[in-house]
Amino acid sequence: MAAMPSAAGLTRALPAGCPPALQLVRRGSKAVTRHWKAMHFQRQKLMAVTEYVAPRPAVPPRCRPPDTGPRPLPREAFRDNRMIAVCQYNAMAGDDVVLLRHYLRRHNIEVKFFLNEIVRPVLAQSKYRNLLPLFVARNLLLVSREAKAKEMLRVLKGVPQVNLLGACIDDTILSRQGVENFAKLPSLEVVQGQAVGALSLLPSQTSSLLQCSSAHLTALLDQHIRRLQEGEGGAPVQPSPEPTGAH
């Protein structure tokens, strides 16, 4: 916007000998004003020519591979964790969600929210295909590296808005009833001890079984010798009983 010559402005007449030109000056405003003042036309041209032009990237952004960023991915969640429980999430107050997260974190169980549109294609191509029907409506994933089903059930019992639908523990898909039964099982160490005890019961009796017959024969012969010695002392010799059990 060029400065328009105003009729109210002062006109300065040039001295004689110069070509006729009117130098019009706007009424008395300074360079720095409180109101908006249009730039001088030459300044406008200079500003237009020296405007900043951003450098174009060498590779256009649409050709670059998509940047996933540090967001948690369902693939990692399924790969790295032993226990993955799927629950239905009904609306809860924010404080309750934080408390739930806190109680579960104490047992190393993490709470993850994934959108169904993201999880379904990941699951469809993995071995967890049979969990697909669970991912409908709003869901919550509880993942953990240890299979702490009992603690998880205890915490969820106090939260009625979260309903356990099913779980995948050690690559085994379990229903809600299955998870409850799994929680009632004794720990692995106890079960291993019971199995070892049951298996070693019979072999522990082998040595006593083998020695049983010879021990019996020895006892009988001892008894016979005692009787003979008693007999020598008083009564005639008794016929010896036949040794039994010696094969």
Minimum CB distance to another protein smaller for 93 or for 199:
93
Exactly one of 164, 167, 168, 169 binds another protein (CB under 8 A); which one? Answer: 164
Cβ neighbours around 182 below 10 Å, total: 18
Minimum CB distance to another protein smaller for 81 or for 139:
139
Position 137 contacts another protein (CB under 8 A): yes
Minimum CB distance to another protein smaller for 64 or for 184:
184
Exactly one of 16, 18, 59, 93 binds another protein (CB under 8 A); which one? Answer: 93
What's the CA dihedral at 224, 225, 230, 231 to 10 degrees? 70
CA distances from 246 to 79, 156, 212, 221, 243 (A): 64, 67, 10, 12, 7
Q: For the CB of residue 139, give the shortest distance to another protein in the complex, in Å.
A: 9
Q: For the CB of residue 205, give the shortest distance to another protein in the complex, in Å.
A: 44
Position 157 contacts another protein (CB under 8 A): no
Exactly one of 88, 99, 150, 227 binds another protein (CB under 8 A); which one? Answer: 88
Q: For the CB of residue 189, give the shortest distance to another protein in the complex, in Å.
A: 29
Position 176 contacts another protein (CB under 8 A): yes
**Distant-in-sequence, close-in-space partners of 124: CB < 8 Å, separation ≥ 6:** 132
Minimum CB distance to another protein smaller for 120 or for 216:
120
CA distances from 52 to 49, 120, 172, 222 (A): 9, 46, 61, 118
Its sign, for the CA torsion 127, 131, 135, 140, is: negative
Residues between 1 and 30 with contacts to another protein, criterion CB under 8 A: none
Binding segment for another protein (CB under 8 A), chosen from 18-26, 33-41, 161-169, 236-244, is 161-169
Minimum CB distance to another protein smaller for 137 or for 202:
137
Position 134 contacts another protein (CB under 8 A): yes
Find how far residue 193's CA is from the centre of its chain: 31
Residue 2: both structure tokens together: 């060029």
Position 161 contacts another protein (CB under 8 A): yes
Exactly one of 12, 127, 129, 138 binds another protein (CB under 8 A); which one? Answer: 138
Binding site for another protein (CB under 8 A): 86, 88-91, 93, 130, 133-134, 136-138, 160-161, 163-166, 175-178
